[in-house]
Structure 1
Amino acid sequence: MDFLILCIGRFSGIPNIPTFPKNKGHEVFRGKVIHSMDYSNMGSTAAAELVKGKRVIVVGYVKSALDIAAECANINGSKYPCTMIIRTKRWNISDFLAWGIPIDYLFLNRFSELFRHKPGEGLVLNLIATLLSPSLWIFSKFTESYLLKTIPMKKYEMVPEQSFFEDVSLGLVSHLPENFYDKVEEGSIILKPSKAFEFYKDGILAEGETTLMETDLVIYATGFRGDEKIKNIFFSPWFQEIVDGTDAAVHLYRECIHPHIPQMAIIGHSEGTSNLFTSELRARWLACFLDDGFVLPSRRNMEKDITEWNKCYNKYTCGSSRFYRRPSIIPT
């Protein structure tokens, strides 16, 4: 072969399971513990039977966690409420408008890209970004004011510490299921912010709490270890070390090609508001390269480009590896 393309999927295969001190993890729990991957693989009928009539705790507060909690609430109602353990509060939205203006117009379009400094932008684009960048803060506060007005986050102590702009830059803004906070209001969903928790025989104890949350089923909606999945595909320890990265992230030129393995591309590793669109544009870029449309830079220049873009990402996400290890890429 002349070239290898990995399309093995980032959001499957190896679930991200939190670790616990000895005798504080799910091994001491006599109920059932699964990952959202297992839940979705069951199919709707089997999943409904699993949660029916059970006290369920969902760990997480992004896409899968919200959907699973809403499904449990629809099935069990307030008689067996679903509790969500939320380690990081998010600016999850009920619609894509902010005071009548589509959020896409504020954050996710070609014009909004002019508000950000980027590597190799040149003098004119640098000047435009310098003049327009304060608008990012204004847009963020504008959107936050609308969300605080329309979603009862304050009432349930769910206002995030970080800005909306930071969450949207990290690709961690999710759409709330229909009538989500109505289910919270009626007691079908219980929101429990907690940075940490530990297992006991009959349930979970959240950090700073003295009352045990008794439960029958715990569902981790904590994501996947996509980087580990890529690493484990190789037999060679040398290749494993190369793709392992230095901060739990694979560093790729154009979010596609590793500088040390220029005969291999990875599609589906980069993040975006819509991962399908992101992967499609990466695939088109790769097709152009394979059709001799351009030549890759040297390894040194590719590594330099990766470093510059990582600095750019960290600048606009406030170095938020504490929330998520990769930025959201909006390919335009």
Structure 2
Amino acid sequence: MRVAVIGAGCCGITAVKACLEEGLDVVCFERASDCGGLWWYRDETPESGAGTVMRFTVANTSKEMSCYSDFPPDKDAPLFMTHWQTLQYIRSYADHFGVTPKIRFNHEVLRLDRDGTIRVRDLKTGRDWEDVFDGVLVCTGHHGSPSVPDIPGRELFRGRVMHSRDYKYADEAFRDKTVVVVGFANSALDVAVNLSTVARQVFLSTRRINWVLPSHYKSVPMDVYVLNQARLWLFSWLPHSWFSHFVVSVANDAWDHKALGMEADHDVMSQGLVINQYIDGKLLDGTVKIRGPPQKFTEKGVVMNYVEEEVDAVVFATGFTTGLPFPTDALTRDGERLLLYKMMIPPANPNVAFLGFIDANANLLQAFEMQARYMARVFSGKLTLPSREAMEQDVAATQQKSKSFFVPTPRHSLMIDKIAYVEDLAKILGVKPDYLKLLFTDPKLYYALMTSPVLNYQYRLQGPHCWNGARDAILGFQERLRAPLRHRKNGKHDGRSTANYFTTSKLVALCAVVGVSVCLSNGTLKSARHSVPVFWDRVAQRFLAFAPSFGWPF
């Protein structure tokens, strides 16, 4: 089967790799001269209009939660990698698994038809041609053209106006200026913080406040702390609001959101979380101030909160439209909403799939890879899709659930619960770990899983294309987390700045072990779920029985 992959970013290269694992004849078209997608920083915006990270970008998710399932990052790499380190990791992955030779660089896709016909242009020679593929995986990402709100009076404003796509760093043009940054997502806060290093004053102008979390909490990466596997298991038995309250408590323990003027009025999980390590200090020293949405431009400034502020520049960090860099009749929509089965497949033409057209409150690489493995199995004929009618019903149910929970914006039409989404695909593929079995057959591995976040390596323990190194990667997680923090060699410091986290995790893991035993004694997980008071009563009774085996003198 011939498969085309469009795009060689972090999603596209794992799609090529998954196709190679299934023995498919795959080729990837990439309009740039190298792979890396958004992570390939360039001082100038590419002629294609594709965005890149900014010069100062550092990943806001930890390396262990931002890696491929069979390619752990270097143990000495920092917990939060710079854009160039992330790019190096992505390219190393492509080289290691033989993906790079399958990529045709400087080849731009001009059109995609639903039957798999692709029109391609060789950007070096200018030659255009068409080819037909049995399957197509579109991995260009969901960032279409910049989205800029229509603010009255823009034609009057004498200052500089730009979109964050074209912002690279705080150069001398912004020195001692007053700048308005419109938006309140990750890019907006990154730009505002960076501008504050040279600008006289920065205003964050927004119509809706988001919850903001620092990238780490008590010297532990925030994603490692919040997405602890045992903790998530325990919260799965409780109302959703309990987990939301937990995240809010962590956020407010890090910063007093109300005092900083950043207290949102919606469920913390119903909108994309913002991760920024420095915004609190900028708000406290006044170099960044929060204002309401821009109401209109004037000749010398912008009106916000019914007050005109004289400003020199405006940066719109207002996101992108959900779109493709080429026309196609393969993608079905309902306005901004993409009608895709499993957030990938148009029910009417499942020979084409759109990978990476999702968003979440976590790093998405895990989801990208699982999407790629899923579609490679479909294209190889080893996984059968439901009927078109069944897929359309699933799409309708998914969209209704999304509308009822997430805030109603175009970006949030792409939002998923990443962990639940990945687990669903993993179960279908047969790569979801059998935790109950591991409890009895490999308790050391089970304990490591429960005291760790939801690591991607666990999806290589069993099933198709399992990896012999998965177990060691999981067991070595804590060591890799500590390794880059070790600087002293005299033996007096072992780098365990994360000790508090691991102690807490052991307690949570103990509860998970106890919970499993309760479920077993109760007959099934289902019966335990339907008798919650009895369940927790038994947990309490068994706590003392299990504690000694974990080294706690209760």
Q: TM (normalized to structure 1)? A: 0.77
Of residues 312, 324, 327 in structure 1, which corresponds to 2:412? 324
Distance 2:163 2:395 in 1: 33
CA displacement at 1:225 relative to structure 2: 0.8
CA displacement at 1:286 relative to structure 2: 0.9
Structure 2 vs 1, CA of residues 95 and 305 (structure 1 numbering), >3 Å: closer, same or farther?
same
Structure 2 vs 1, CA of residues 247 and 111 (structure 1 numbering), >3 Å: closer, same or farther?
farther
User: What's the counterpart of residue 257 of structure 2?
Assistant: 153
Equivalent position SS for 1:320: coil
User: What's the counterpart of residue 288 of structure 2?
Assistant: 189
Given that 2:332 and 2:340 are in contact with CA atoms closer than 8 Å, whether structure 1 keeps it comes out as no
Distance 2:351 2:196 in 1: 49
Of residues 125, 132, 135 in structure 2, which corresponds to 1:3? 135
State how 1:41-80 maps to structure 2 within 5 Å. Answer: 44=169, 47-76=170-199, 80=200
Residues 20-43 of structure 1, C-alpha deviations (whole Å, 9 max, x = no match): 3xxx14222111111000113xxx
Given that 1:256 and 1:269 are in contact with CA atoms closer than 8 Å, whether structure 2 keeps it comes out as yes
Given that 1:203 and 1:216 are in contact with CA atoms closer than 8 Å, whether structure 2 keeps it comes out as yes
Distance 1:270 1:294 in 2: 22
CA displacement at 1:294 relative to structure 2: 1.3
User: What's the counterpart of residue 301 of structure 1?
Assistant: 390
Given that 1:198 and 1:204 are in contact with CA atoms closer than 8 Å, whether structure 2 keeps it comes out as yes
User: What's the counterpart of residue 302 of structure 2?
Assistant: 204
Equivalent position SS for 2:197: helix
Distance 1:37 1:3 in 2: 32
Structure 2 vs 1, CA of residues 75 and 177 (structure 1 numbering), >3 Å: closer, same or farther?
farther
Structure 1 unaligned residues grouped into runs of 5+: 116-128
User: What's the counterpart of residue 213 of structure 1?
Assistant: 309
User: What's the counterpart of residue 167 of structure 2?
Assistant: 39
Given that 1:156 and 1:191 are in contact with CA atoms closer than 8 Å, whether structure 2 keeps it comes out as no
Percent identity, aligned pairs only, is 24
State how 1:83-98 maps to structure 2 within 5 Å. Answer: 83-97=203-217
User: What's the counterpart of residue 17 of structure 1?
Assistant: 148
Amino acid at match of 2:290: L
Distance 1:73 1:155 in 2: 20
Given that 2:403 and 2:413 are in contact with CA atoms closer than 8 Å, whether structure 1 keeps it comes out as no
Of residues 153, 166, 172 in structure 1, which corresponds to 2:270? 166
Distance 1:110 1:247 in 2: 39
**Quick check: which has more Rg, 1 or 2?**
2
User: What's the counterpart of residue 224 of structure 1?
Assistant: 320
Given that 2:340 and 2:347 are in contact with CA atoms closer than 8 Å, whether structure 1 keeps it comes out as yes
Of residues 277, 284, 300 in structure 2, which corresponds to 1:177? 277
Residues 70-98 of structure 1, C-alpha deviations (whole Å, 9 max, x = no match): 1111223xxx1111002211111024449
Distance 1:310 1:111 in 2: 28
Structure 2 vs 1, CA of residues 270 and 200 (structure 1 numbering), >3 Å: closer, same or farther?
same
Given that 1:97 and 1:103 are in contact with CA atoms closer than 8 Å, whether structure 2 keeps it comes out as no
User: What's the counterpart of residue 118 of structure 1?
Assistant: none
Given that 2:260 and 2:280 are in contact with CA atoms closer than 8 Å, whether structure 1 keeps it comes out as no
State how 1:243-322 maps to structure 2 within 5 Å. Answer: 243=331, 245-272=333-360, 273-315=362-404, 317=405, 319-321=406-408
Residues 267-326 of structure 1, C-alpha deviations (whole Å, 9 max, x = no match): 1102232122221111111111111111222211110111122233345x2x52258333
Distance 2:228 2:312 in 1: 41
Structure 2 vs 1, CA of residues 152 and 25 (structure 1 numbering), >3 Å: closer, same or farther?
farther
Given that 2:160 and 2:313 are in contact with CA atoms closer than 8 Å, whether structure 1 keeps it comes out as yes
Amino acid at match of 1:4: V
Task: Work out which structure has the larger RCO, using CA pairs closer than 8 Å and 6 or more positions apart in sequence.
Answer: 1
Q: TM (normalized to structure 2)? A: 0.48
Distance 1:38 1:144 in 2: 33
Distance 1:39 1:81 in 2: 17
CA RMSD of aligned residues (A): 2.8
User: What's the counterpart of residue 119 of structure 1?
Assistant: none
Given that 1:278 and 1:329 are in contact with CA atoms closer than 8 Å, whether structure 2 keeps it comes out as no
Distance 1:301 1:244 in 2: 16
User: What's the counterpart of residue 3 of structure 2?
Assistant: none
CA displacement at 1:250 relative to structure 2: 1.0
Distance 2:178 2:352 in 1: 47
Of residues 210, 218, 238 in structure 2, which corresponds to 1:133? 238
Distance 2:224 2:398 in 1: 23
Distance 2:277 2:301 in 1: 26
Structure 2 vs 1, CA of residues 88 and 113 (structure 1 numbering), >3 Å: closer, same or farther?
farther
